[in-house]
Structure 1
Amino acid sequence: MATGCYVCDREAEFDRLPPRERIAYDDHWRVAHAFGSALLGWLVLVPRRHVMELAELSDEEAKSLGVWQVRLARALAAELGIPKTYVAEFGEAPGFHLHFHVVPRRPDFEPSMVGPKVFGLLGRGEDEQVSAEDQDDLAEALSARLIS
């Protein structure tokens, strides 16, 4: 049954999600590749229950949040050879499920893509987006790193 929340609707279909939408998970968090991204490795970390604001996280969710962010940064660094990872949460869209962007900061970024300007790589047209196949390939590689 659709709830009107994209993340919750995807969570309800968890067992049928492609690798790119269930890279890693535990009882509190799920990791997916961002859709509409022109950057391979742009991940989103989402609570597995409906949460709209950071202050609504349970103590257990909050305890593991930082651990997940660091684990994802390490996995991206190892898999993509990137020196830095951005983590961001803005939550400006009304009624939107809380999520954290975990973004690989490639060393060859132009100045126009550094810092918050990296969001220019999100919401791209289909011809500029990372393919579902490439996202799934990376998802499987990251998943293997995160399990070990």
Structure 2
Amino acid sequence: MLKFLLALSVSALLVAPVQATDIYPVTKACTPGKAHCERWSEEFKKALALAQKGDHAGQQTVAFCLSTGCHGAIAVDRVASCSWHLVILDSGAATVLDRSNLRNTCRPMTPAQKDEARALAGELVRKIYQRELAPGDQM
């Protein structure tokens, strides 16, 4: 019963998706008993903490979850996902797969969404690496 009440109270706190000025993605309340959702919610929180410290694998997980929702654990936000892919490419540790993920995530977006993703990526790079996002359009 306590678990049910806790889940019910948490589900009332769903938040809107990430905006350009908000660099913290949104986890969603998992339905009790959805093991994949609960596991990904915890994995995402760990990955986000690592990503914000410049960890390449953490950044990849954050970008992936923002584009797929990770079994309903994360609010899908293509703009935020694209911005994390831009951060990954700017980190100096990007792989060929990272470049492909950036193209697949960012190219279908509108020009306004791409501008928003660039702005968010700039904020993230300043916060993580204490420098400006490298110029150039990799989308």
Please give the TM-score of this superposition, normalised by the length of structure 1: 0.30
- Which has the bigger relative contact order, CA under 8 A and spacing at least 6? 1
- Larger Rg, first or second structure (1 or 2): 2
